[in-house]
A and B are shown apart, each in its own frame.
Chain A
Amino acid sequence: MFDLEQSIAEWRRQMLAAGIKTPVPLEELESHLREDVEQQMQSGLRAQQAFENSVQRIGHANDLKSEFKKICGMKFYTRWMLLWIGGNGLIVTVILNLVGLYMFPGRVPVFFSHGWWHAWFPCYTTWTIFSIIGFVVGLNHWTQWSALGIGGIGLIGTMILNLAGRFVFHSGSSVFFSDDWGNVWFPIYLAEMGFTFAGLVAGLSVGFGNRKLSKATRA
């Protein structure tokens, strides 16, 4: 004997197993399923036939999952990715500076050097401002260009400002030409570049996903 409620419960289990999330969108799909079944039964169809038709019309769980994933996944992923890129410029540098202080006791990390107020403060401030602007732009537009921009500005901007600092503030040594470059600054910049590069790749892949989604669903 066909039991509609049991069949719907089984359908829900299959949807959940395929990764369709609850309450949204599973509740919405179930509401649709019930409405469709009800309408068909009112037209004279038996419950089992109506249920089977509806399930077929709603489509396969895996297909639905991949369509939903493109939307929900992108939003979540993009926000955190941009937050991370924006934050890493400042936080990672501060952490690595402090690590450098303990790892190389004889050396002077940037935050305690003579050049800090002259060359480093403007440099870090600019970098931070760029990161924040990029982050805000990214939140509003979600394009691969904003992620690319943040990644690129973080790296290129710092290099330019480093070099500029050397000429503007003659007293402050630029990182690229200081004695500490090889053992303290190189690992720091390497780590920064790693983060920036990872952000860039993530930005491009989101952008690519975005384009594919546009093609699939936009007029």
Chain B
Amino acid sequence: MYRVSMIRKELVAASAEPLVLSLLSKGESYGYAIIQEVKTRSDGKLQWTDGMLYPVLHRMEHRGLIKSRWGESETGRKRKYYSLKKDGKTAMAKHHAQWSLVHSVLSGLRKEQYV
């Protein structure tokens, strides 16, 4: 098994939307927490330039996939929370189907190499 190196930027960009949608399907969240969770779950291999998540979030909001509201953190600091909209759930289902397909094709090919 190869050691997974840092994921290249094209794949990071491509996976941003499905990851954000999937994270938000668990409940509302905010930029910093989203970045931290992706970092932790990928063992630090999937890293965004922090600021670049925000244009992605705004674009998804503009497309009606997610919505936002200003709230406060536990310490009283202003925070912008994002949550999933109905169209976002549909988009997430599509992303999952597509990524699963890519994964199954890759797995199938990999198995054949060992036959």
Contact = CB atoms under 8 A, between A and B. Distances in A.
A180 interface: no
B55 A219 contact: no
Contacts of A31: 30-32, 77-80
Contact count band on A? 20 to 34
Contacts of B79: 31, 35
B49 A59 contact: yes
A68 B13 CA distance: 15
Contact of A217 (B17, B49, B73, B95): B17
Interface of chain B, main secondary structure: helix
Given A218-B17, A219-B15, A35 B59 contact: no
A71 B52 contact: no
B55 A70 contact: yes
Contacts of B55: 25, 64, 67-68, 70-71, 217
Interface centre among A35, A59, A213, A219 (most CB of B within 10 A): A219
Given A35-B32, A68-B55, A71-B62, A216 B49 contact: no
Contacts of A57: 49-51
A65 to B, nearest CB: 10
B2 to A, nearest CB: 24
B88 to A, nearest CB: 13
B52 A64 contact: yes
A58 B73 contact: no
A195 B24 CA distance: 44
B48 to A, nearest CB: 9
Nearest to B17: A219
Contacts of A68: 54-55, 58
Interface residues of B, number: 27
A217 B62 contact: no
A28 B43 CA distance: 26
Interface of chain A, main secondary structure: helix
Contacts of B32: 31-32, 35-36
Interface in B38-63: 49-52, 54-56, 58-59, 62
Interface in B11-26: 13-18
B16 A25 contact: no
A218 B21 CA distance: 12
A33 to B, nearest CB: 9
Contact of A67 (B14, B30, B52): B52
A58 B77 contact: no
A59 B15 contact: no
Interface of B: 13-18, 30-32, 49-52, 54-56, 58-59, 62, 73, 77-80, 95, 98-99
29 contacts: A27-B78, A28-B54, A28-B80, A29-B51, A29-B54, A31-B32, A31-B77, A32-B50, A32-B51, A35-B32, A35-B79, A36-B50, A57-B49, A57-B50, A58-B50, A59-B50, A59-B52, A63-B49, A64-B51, A64-B54, A67-B52, A67-B55, A68-B55, A71-B62, A75-B62, A216-B13, A218-B14, A219-B14, A219-B18
